[in-house]
Amino acid sequence: LAKTTQPISMDSYEGQEVNITCSHNNIATNDYITWYQQFPSQGPRFIIQGYKTKVTNEVASLFIPADRKSSTLSPPRVSLSDTAVYYCLVGANTDKLIFGTGTRLQVFP
Amino acid sequence: DAGVTQSPTHLIKTRGQQVTLRCSPKSGHDTVSWYQQALGQGPQFIFQYYEEEERQRGNFPDRFSGHQFPNYSSELNVNALLLGDSALYLCASSGTGAGNTEAFFGQGTRLTVV
């Protein structure tokens, strides 16, 4: 069973703010929340990881509410090059990563 | 510093044949995992190797086997290929110990079974 639930797809326009949500109701105490980005015919690429509250790096911000049952990935104002599939994962380490179907983000000019 | 490298990038095989895919982990990483990604789906975990032993295995038949060498590189072998084995095969490497929660993926090997 997938441990996370995400919207299948989202559309946006260049320069807009995007919020990609993920539901993980059964997250365990020692689980982290990790997001990966994947372009066609490439392997997934680590974007950001957090445990609680807000985490920000040069790629995106990750918002995690106090109950940790959901998270929201928010890239900076998107560009065409942000068109990709975004996966939300929960787990305590890199053993046996469980990917869902991800969210396909399409950015239009 | 080279990341995770996989070879070959593309491969076409006939049903019933056997295939070997190769992976070199990121420098400093000792753990290698293999994933299968069918078109339009997320990657599915096949197995993980650490210290030349299979440490965890996903829900894949025994036709899928692997090996890890002393230099931490790894091979994925698939016997008796089926049409349904056509997919992108991804290798991921990671370190061990606390704080190692990021896996680095290679670009994958696209296997087509005809």
How many residues are present in chain A?
109
Query: pLDDT by residue (tens digit) across B68-79?
Result: 999 999 999 999
Q: Mean of the per-residue pLDDT values for chain A?
A: 93
How many residues are present in chain B?
114
- What confidence tier does A96 reach under pLDDT thresholds 50, 70, 90? confident
- Contact: B102, A94; criterion CB under 8 Å: yes
- What confidence tier does A94 reach under pLDDT thresholds 50, 70, 90? confident
**Would the pLDDT of B81 be above 80?**
yes
Query: pLDDT by residue (tens digit) across B12-37?
Result: 999 999 999 999 999 989 999 999 99
Q: How far is CA A70 from CA A4, A93, B34, B48, in A?
A: 9, 19, 28, 28
- Amino acid symbol at A21: T
Average pLDDT over residues A40-47: 93
- Contact: A99, B42; criterion CB under 8 Å: yes
- Give the closest-approach CA distance of B83 to chain A in angstroms: 19
Name every residue whose Cβ is closer than 8 Å to that of residue A67 and which is 6 or more positions away in sequence.
none
HEC string for A38-76: ECCCCCCEEEEEECCEEEECCCCEEEECCCCCEEEEECC
**Choosing among B11, B105, B110, which should be mutated to test the A contact, i.e. which has the most A CBs within 10 A?**
B105
